[in-house]
Structure 1
Amino acid sequence: MATKQKIVLASNNAGKVKEFNHLLAPFDFEVIPQGELGVPECPEPFTTFVENALAKARHAAQITGLPALADDSGLCVHALSGAPGVLSARFAGEPKSDARNNEKLLADMQGQTDRRAWYYAALVLVRAANDPQPLIADGVCTGDILLTPQGDGGFGYDPLFWRADLQKSVAQLSATEKATISHRAKALQKLIEQLKETGL
C-alpha cells in the first residue's frame, strides 16, 4: 500500500483540515495543520488574497520541507469599495471577534441602499518553498448584506450574508447546502482540476 503524500495546511483551523482531507482523499494526500509541525503563523501584509495565500504557503513549505496548501478568504462589499476584504477576520481590530466584526459591518453599511457583496477565496498550493509555478485557484459566492443577522449556523459574516435564490442567510444553510455555493469549495474544485492535469 502506497504511503500518503503529506501536505502541510497553512492553518490550524480544524474545520478546514477536515474539509481538505476529505476533498483531497482521492489523491492519496494527508493534510496536516501547520501547528502540528511547529510552523508559526505567517504575517499577512499584502492587500490581495492571492499574495497573502502565497506567502502563507511558501512560509509553511520553507519550514517543513513539505508541499503546502494555503487559503486566504474574506468578505467584500460593493458599497465599501471591497472592504473588509483581506482584513475580514480583524475588521473590528484585535482580538478577532465575529460579533464585533458584524457590528462594525452593520454600522459602516448604515444608510446604504446597495447591499451587494461577495465572499472570495484564493487557494495556493506549492510543491516546495521556491516553486516557480504554484497552483492558484479562486472561488466567489455572491449575495447581499442584511439589515439584521439571521440564523446561528456558520461563522464570520454568515448571519448577515443573504442568498436571494435560497431565501436564506448563509447562517441558515445546512453544511451540504453551504458546500454547494461556498467560495472555498468552488476554489478547491478548480485546484483539484489543476492537480489532475499537473500532479504534485
Structure 2
Amino acid sequence: MSTDLRRIDGRRLLVASHNKGKIRELHFLLGGLAIELVTAGELGLPEPVEDGTTFVENARIKALAAATAAGEVALSDDSGLCVDALGGAPGVHTADWSGPSRDWDLAMGRVEDELRKVGATAPDQRRATFVSLLCLAWPDGHTQEYLGERAGTLVWPQRRGPIAYGYDPVFVPDGETRTYGEMTAEEKHGSIWGAPGPLSHRARSVQKLVEGAFPPGIRP
C-alpha cells in the first residue's frame, strides 16, 4: 500500500463482491453518499482465488482484481470472526467453515464444537472479535486499507435471532445484551455520520473509509 493517500474523485464505486449479505450491508452503510454503487456480479467479473493468509491480503486480491478488470476504483471487504480460545480461528477462513453451500448453521455448530473440545464453556472463555478490512484499489495498483473491529462474546447452544448474515445470531457485542441477529440494521450498525458512534465492525471500517477517502461533496 502506498503512503500517498488518495480520495475518490468520481460518482461511482465498484464493490468487488458477489456476497449478497455483504453487498446489502455496504449499500445500507454507504446509502447516504452521493455515489452510485455497482457490484462485480453486475459487471460479470469473475471471483478471484482468495489465497491470502491475512484479511489485508485477501482484501487486496479482490479489490485489485476488480479494479484492473473494470478500469475503475474498486472497494472490497474481507471480514471474519476471530475466536480467542481457538487461536483466532476461523479468521480468514470464516466463510469456509460454512461449507460450499454457505450453511451458517453448520458454521456456528462447528465453532461451538471446537470451543467444547478446548473446554471453553464459560462466557469469559468465549470471547471473539469480528473484523472488517476494507480495501480501496485503483487500476494502477494503488491500495488503501481501513480496519474495523468489534469485540464480544459467543452464545450457545441456542442461537438468538434469524440468520440474517453469517455468525450474527451467536455474537453479543460488548455493552449489549442482544446478538447481532436480534438487532435491526440500524441497531447493529449505528450511525457512521456522528454520535453515537458506529457499533458493528463493518460500520467502523466504513466510517474510516468515508472520512479518509471521500471528498466533502460526496459525504452528506
Scaled to the shorter chain, the TM-score interval is 0.7 to 0.9
Please say if residues 150 and 173 of structure 2, whose CA atoms lie closer than 8 Å, have aligned partners that are also in contact: no
2:37 aligned residue? 31
TM-score (norm 2): 0.80
1:192 aligns with 2:210: yes
Q: How does 1:44-83 map to 2 (within 5 A)?
A: 44-83=50-89
Partner of 1:130: 141
Give 1:18 deviation, angstroms: 4.7
Do the aligned residues in 2 keep the contact of 1:21 with 1:29 (CA within 8 Å)?
no
Does the residue aligned with 1:102 lie in a helix, a strand or coil?
A: helix
Partner residue in 1 for 2:115: 109
The Cα offsets for residues 171-196 of structure 1, whole Å up to 9 and x where unpaired, read as 11121110121101100000111114
Counterpart code for 2:137: V
* Secondary structure class of the residue paired with 1:79: helix
Maintained 8 Å contact 1:139/1:187:
yes
Displacement after TM superposition at 1:28 (Å): 3.4
Secondary structure at the aligned position of 2:41 is classed as helix
In 2, distance between residues paired with 1:129 and 1:80?
38
Unaligned runs of 5+ in 2: 1-9, 191-198
Query: Number of residues paired by the alignment?
Result: 195
Q: Which blocks of at least 5 consecutive residues in structure 1 are unaligned?
A: none
Deviation by residue 1:92-141 (Cα, 9 ceiling, x = unmatched): 5333210110111110011214110010000001122412xx22101011
C-alpha contact (below 8 Å) 2:64/2:138 kept by paired residues: no
Is it true that 1:147 corresponds to 2:152 in the alignment? Answer: no
**Worse-superposed segment, 58-67 or 153-162:** 153-162
Q: Which moved more, 1:71-80 or 1:36-45?
A: 36-45
TM-score normalized by the length of structure 1? 0.88
Q: CA 1:15/1:157 → structure 2, altered by over 3 Å: closer, same or farther?
A: closer
User: In the TM superposition, what is the alpha-carbon distance from 1:30 to its structure 2 partner?
Assistant: 1.2
Equivalent residues of 2:13, 2:75 under 8 A apart = yes
- The CA deviation at 1:38 is 1.6
The alignment's C-alpha RMSD in Å is 2.3
State how far apart, in whole Å, the 2-side matches of 1:173 and 1:21 are: 18
Residue of structure 2 aligned with 1:173, choices 174, 177, 183: 183
Question: Cα 1:174–1:21, aligned 2, differ >3 Å: closer, same or farther?
Answer: closer
AA of the residue aligned to 1:137: Y
* 1:86 and 2:92 are equivalent in the alignment: yes
Change (3 A) 1:150 1:120: same
Corresponding position: 1:156 with 2:166: yes
Q: Cα 1:43–1:199, aligned 2, differ >3 Å: closer, same or farther?
A: farther
Cα distance, 1:163–1:7 mapped onto 2, change above 3 Å: closer
Q: Deviations over 1:129-184 (max 9, x none)?
A: 412xx221010111111122122253211111123522111111121110121101
> For 1:176 and 1:57, how far apart are their aligned partners in 2?
27
Q: Which residue of 1 aligns with 2:130?
A: 119
Structure number with higher relative contact order (C-alpha < 8 Å, ≥ 6 residues apart): 2
Structure 1 residues 135 and 27, CA, compared in 2 at 3 Å: closer, same or farther?
Answer: farther
